[in-house]
C-alpha cells in the first residue's frame, strides 16, 4: 500500500479526545431543554488572545439570537474545584459570552460552588437515565410536606326555603348527598381544600367564602334546593419531613446551586430513587426548613423554563370524593375570599 494511503488511514482512525463522549451527552441534554436552539460541540471562537475552543455552545433562536451560552464540560473522577470556576469566569469575560455554565460528571467541591454562586456561573450535572456516559450520582436532602386536615366543614346558604325544603334540611345532611348536574358537591369542596392546602408551607386555619352570581339549584334526596353562597371553614397542620434521596432524570440537568432539575418540553421525567415513602424520613421543625421552600408554591417566581423542585407533598384527612370529579361551579362564582381565622 502506498505511504500516502497509510497516512490517510491513520487520520481517519482518530481516537476520541478525553471527555468528548461527555460533551456529546451534555449537548444532547442541552438540545432537549432548548429544542429550537443551535447546539454545537467543540466550537472555536476568536478571543482577545487568539482562538479558544469551547466544549458546547448554545445559540438560542428568535428574540434571543444574539445570546451565546457556553458550557464547559468536565468528565473527571473527582469533584471539580474552584480553579475551574476561576478559569471559566475568565473565559466568559474574554469571549463576551452571555452565560457561561460548567457541567461536571463528578460533582463540585464546596468552595467551587460558593465561587460559582458569587460570580453567577450555573454549576450543573447532566442526567440521562441508563446512559453509560453519565457517572455522576446526585444525592440531596429532600423535604416532604405532610398536610393533615384537623377539621373541614361547609356551611350552605339557602334563600327562600319552602316548608318541604326546611324539613329535609332540619335533620342531619351530609355534603356527599348534594349534587349538581349529577356530580358530587363534596368533590368541589375537596377541590377547594386542595387548592389552599396543596400550596401551603405552614399550618393554617381559614374561612373560605364563596359567593355565587345568583342562586344555583342543587339536588338532594330527589328535590332541588338553591344555594346563594358556600362558606368553608377548615384547619390543617403542616409537618415537614426530610431524608436523603438519589436524584435522576430520563434526560435533564441537575442544578447544584438551586438544587433542582431542569427538564425540556416533552416526555422527559424526573426521578427520585431510594425514597422512604412510608415514613418520609425524619420530622424537622419549620425553622430547619430551607427558607426558599417556605415560600408558597403559587408565589414562587416563574423561571421561564421547566424545572422540578425537590420537595414532595401529601394531603391527609380529605373528603372521600375525588377533586377531579368536581362539578364546574367556578364559572358561577361572583367573589371568593379566604380569611385566616387568626386575623378575625
Q: Does residue 188 have a pLDDT over 50?
A: yes
N residues, the chain: 344
Closest to 276 measured CA to CA, from 143, 97, 121: 143
Q: For residue 219, with 0-12 CB atoms within 10 Å meaning exposed, 13-18 middle and 19 or more buried, which class applies?
A: middle
Q: Does residue 282 have a pLDDT over 90?
A: yes
Closest to 227 measured CA to CA, from 159, 138, 276: 159
What is the Cα–Cα distance from 237 to 262, expressed in whole angstroms? 31
Higher pLDDT, 267 or 138: 138
Does pTM surpass 0.85?
no
Contact 95, 70 (CB under 8 A): yes
Neighbours of 280 (CB within 10 A): 20
Give the DSSP letter string of 146-172.
Answer: EEEEEEEEEEEE-SS--HHHHHHHHS-
- Give the per-residue pLDDT at 6: 40
For the chain, which residues make up each domain, given as ranges?
17-136, 138-344
Average pLDDT (126-146) is: 94
* Domain with residues 17-136, CATH architecture: 3-Layer(aba) Sandwich (3.40)
Structure-block grid coordinates of residue 177: 348527598
What is the Cα–Cα distance from 237 to 204, expressed in whole angstroms? 6
- Give the per-residue pLDDT at 172: 87
- Give the per-residue pLDDT at 63: 54
Closest to 141 measured CA to CA, from 315, 288, 300: 288
Calculate what percentage of the chain has a pLDDT beyond 90: 64
Q: At what angle do helices 82-95 and 110-119 cross, to 10 degrees?
A: 20
Amino acid at each position: 500500500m502506498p505511504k500516502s494511503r497509510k497516512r490517510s488511514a491513520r487520520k481517519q482512525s482518530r481516537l476520541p479526545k478525553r471527555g468528548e463522549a461527555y460533551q456529546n451527552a451534555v449537548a444532547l441534554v442541552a438540545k432537549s431543554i432548548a429544542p429550537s436552539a443551535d447546539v454545537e460541540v467543540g466550537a472555536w471562537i476568536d478571543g482577545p488572545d487568539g482562538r479558544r475552543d469551547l466544549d458546547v455552545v448554545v445559540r438560542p433562536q428568535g428574540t434571543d439570537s444574539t445570546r451565546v451560552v457556553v458550557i464547559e464540560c468536565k468528565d473527571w473522577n473527582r469533584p471539580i474545584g474552584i480553579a475551574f470556576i476561576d478559569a471559566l469566569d475568565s473565559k466568559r469575560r474574554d469571549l463576551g459570552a452571555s452565560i457561561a455554565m460548567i457541567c461536571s460528571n463528578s460533582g463540585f467541591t464546596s468552595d467551587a460552588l460558593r465561587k460559582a454562586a458569587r460570580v453567577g456561573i450555573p454549576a450543573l450535572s447532566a442526567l440521562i437515565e441508563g446512559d453509560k456516559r453519565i457517572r455522576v450520582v446526585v444525592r440531596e436532602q429532600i423535604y416532604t410536606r405532610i398536610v393533615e386536615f384537623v377539621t373541614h366543614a361547609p356551611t350552605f346558604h339557602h334563600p327562600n326555603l319552602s316548608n318541604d325544603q326546611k324539613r329535609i334540611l332540619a335533620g342531619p345532611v351530609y355534603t356527599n348527598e348534594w349534587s349538581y348536574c349529577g356530580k358530587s358537591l363534596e368533590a368541589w369542596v375537596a377541590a377547594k381544600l386542595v387548592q389552599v392546602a396543596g400550596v401551603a408551607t405552614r399550618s393554617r386555619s381559614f374561612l373560605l367564602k364563596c359567593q355565587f352570581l345568583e342562586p344555583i339549584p342543587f339536588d338532594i334526596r330527589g328535590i332541588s334546593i338553591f344555594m346563594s353562597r358556600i362558606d368553608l371553614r377548615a384547619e390543617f397542620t403542616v409537618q415537614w419531613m426530610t431524608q436523603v434521596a438519589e436524584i435522576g432524570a430520563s434526560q435533564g440537568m441537575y442544578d447544584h446551586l438551586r438544587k433542582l432539575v431542569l427538564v425540556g418540553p416533552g416526555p422527559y421525567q424526573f426521578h427520585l430513587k431510594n425514597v422512604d415513602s412510608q415514613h418520609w424520613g425524619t420530622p424537622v421543625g419549620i425553622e430547619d426548613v430551607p427558607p426558599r421552600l417556605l415560600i408558597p408554591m403559587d408565589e414562587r417566581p416563574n423561571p421561564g423554563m421547566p424545572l422540578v423542585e425537590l420537595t414532595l407533598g401529601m394531603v391527609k384527612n380529605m373528603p372521600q370524593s375525588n377533586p377531579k370529579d368536581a362539578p364546574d361551579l367556578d364559572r358561577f362564582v361572583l367573589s371568593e375570599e379566604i380569611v385566616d381565622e387568626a386575623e378575625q
